[in-house]
Chains A and B, each alone.
Chain A
C-alpha cells in the first residue's frame, strides 16, 4: 500500500463540482498525474495529482472534509 497525501491544508473535494461524478471512485486504478481531487485553500481551488501509480484506490478522506497539509487522502496498492 502507498499513500497519496495532500500537499496543502484546506477542504478536500472528490469532484470538480457537486453535480459532476468523482474524479476517481474507490477501486479505480491511478496513473501518475491523474487528478484525484481538489483542495480549496482560501477560496482558491488546487488540483491534486497522483505522484505515484497504483491499483484499487481507497479514499481515506470524504468529500468536503477539512484536511491538513500532509493528510492522507487515499491509498493505492
Chain B
C-alpha cells in the first residue's frame, strides 16, 4: 500500500482524491499556487506545499516544482487527477525516474493512447471497431483509396491534432483533392507535423464511454456512461447506464474496452470513448482517456465501487480485487456540472466569492465540490464548482431527484449553470433520452436566453 500520496491537482478532484487516500489510511499532501492558499484541498490534506504563482504552467504544470515538493515531504506516490499533468507521459516517466509511484498507467501506455493514430491502430489490433477510415497516416494517393471505405463526407485529420483542432471535412472528391494538401500544410504549421489520417463522418451519434480498471495484466469494465449532452465538446450532463444500448450491444461494447485495456497493459482507472450510431446500431472507438475522469462518480453510484480508491490500491501494488461477475449495475445515476458561468450570456465565466452555500443532501444525492461559504473562486483555473450526482432506481426517478437536489442547492454570490440543468430536466426530449452529441447546441440557440441565473447578494 502507498504510504504518502502527493496530489498534483486542485479543486474538486484534489478533494476527491485526498478523501479516498485518507479512507485507505494513506498520508496526504496537497500542493497549491498563490491563488489557492485558502482552498479546501489545502485545508483537508495532512500537509501542503506551495509550488508557485497562480499561472498553471508555473505551478500545477510545473514538473520540477511538483517533484521537489514530493521530495521535500517524503511522498512515495503522486496522483495527477484529471487535466494539468494527468495525460503527460513525460511526467509519468519523470515520477518513475524520481522513485515515485505515478497513480495511473505507464508513460508508454499514455503515449500510445495520446497519439490519435497509434491509439486507432491499437484499438483495431485489439478487435475494437474504429470509425471507418485510414489505419494510419496516409498521403493523397493512399487517401483516394481510403475513400472507398469512408464515402462522403469524410474528415481529414491532423495526426498531431486533438480537441477538435486540425480537422477538415470534404463532401465530394473535388473538395477532397483541394483540402488534402491544404490540411497537410496547416498541420505542419500548427503542430510541426504534417501527417494526416482519415475518418468517415458519423452523422448523428451518442457519446458512450466505458469505465475500465486494470492492474497492468488483467482488466475489468464497470459498464458504460452516456455523455451525449455536450457544448463545444465539453460534457455538461453525464449518466449511467445508457438508455440507448441493447444488452447485446452493451456486452460487446464493454468487452471491447476490456480487450483494449488488456492489450496495452493498462494500469489504473481509464475510459474508452466511443460514438454510438443509433440508426445503424454500431459503435466506434474514438479515444482512450488514461486517467480518472470528471464524470467517474456516476459509475461509482451504479456499481458501488470507489474507482479512486481502487486506483490507489492498484498503484500500491495490489492485483485487481474485482472480478467481472461481481460488478453489477444497480439503478440509474446522473451527474451535472455546476460551473461558474452564466448560461444566458454565452456561458461567460463568473468567478467571485461564495457568500452563502446550501449543499443538497438526502438519499441518493452526492455533492462533489471544494466550495465553502466565504471561499473566493479564483479566475485562473477552470470554472467547475461542483458536481451534483444523483442515484435512484430508475432514470425517471433520478431526474426527479436531480430537480429536487438542484432546487435545494444555493451557491450565493456566483452565477452558475444551475438554470441550464433545471431546464434540461424539464425538457421532454431529455426526459425521453432522445439526444445526440450535437443536440444541446441546437437547443441552446433557442433556450439559452431564458437560462438567467439568480444572483443572490
Contact = CB atoms under 8 A, between A and B. Distances in A.
A26 to B, nearest CB: 22
A20 interface: no
A9 B379 CA distance: 6
Contacts, number: 37
B429 interface: no
Interface in A7-52: 8-11, 40-44
A70 interface: no
Contact of A42 (B34, B53, B55, B383): B383
Query: On chain B, which size bracket covers the interface?
Result: 10 to 19
Contacts of A44: 348-349
Contacts of B252: none
A10 B379 contact: yes
B55 A64 contact: yes
Nearest to A39: B379
A41 B53 contact: no
Given A42-B340, A42-B382, A43-B382, A9 B55 contact: no
B191 interface: no
A65 to B, nearest CB: 9
Contacts of B382: 42-43
Contacts of A42: 340-341, 349, 351, 379-383
B282 to A, nearest CB: 34
B383 A43 contact: yes
B35 interface: yes
B54 interface: yes
Interface string B372-395: 000000111111000000000000
Please report whether the interface of chain A is mostly helix, strand, loop or mixed according to DSSP. strand
A60 B185 CA distance: 40
Interface in B160-209: none
A66 B54 contact: yes
Contacts of A9: 351, 378-379
Nearest to A67: B379
B383 A11 contact: no
Contacts of B341: 42
A10 B34 CA distance: 13
Nearest to A8: B379
A43 B384 CA distance: 11
Nearest to B352: A9
B349 A41 contact: yes
B33 to A, nearest CB: 10
B379 A41 contact: yes
A71 to B, nearest CB: 12
A42 B382 CA distance: 5
A66 B54 CA distance: 7
B349 A66 contact: no
Interface in A55-77: 64, 66
6 contacts: A9-B379, A11-B54, A40-B380, A42-B341, A44-B348, A66-B55
Interface of A: 8-11, 40-44, 64, 66
Q: Which 5 interchain pairs have the tightest Cβ spacing?
A: A42-B349, A9-B379, A42-B383, A10-B379, A66-B54
Interface of B: 34-35, 53-55, 340-341, 348-349, 351, 378-383
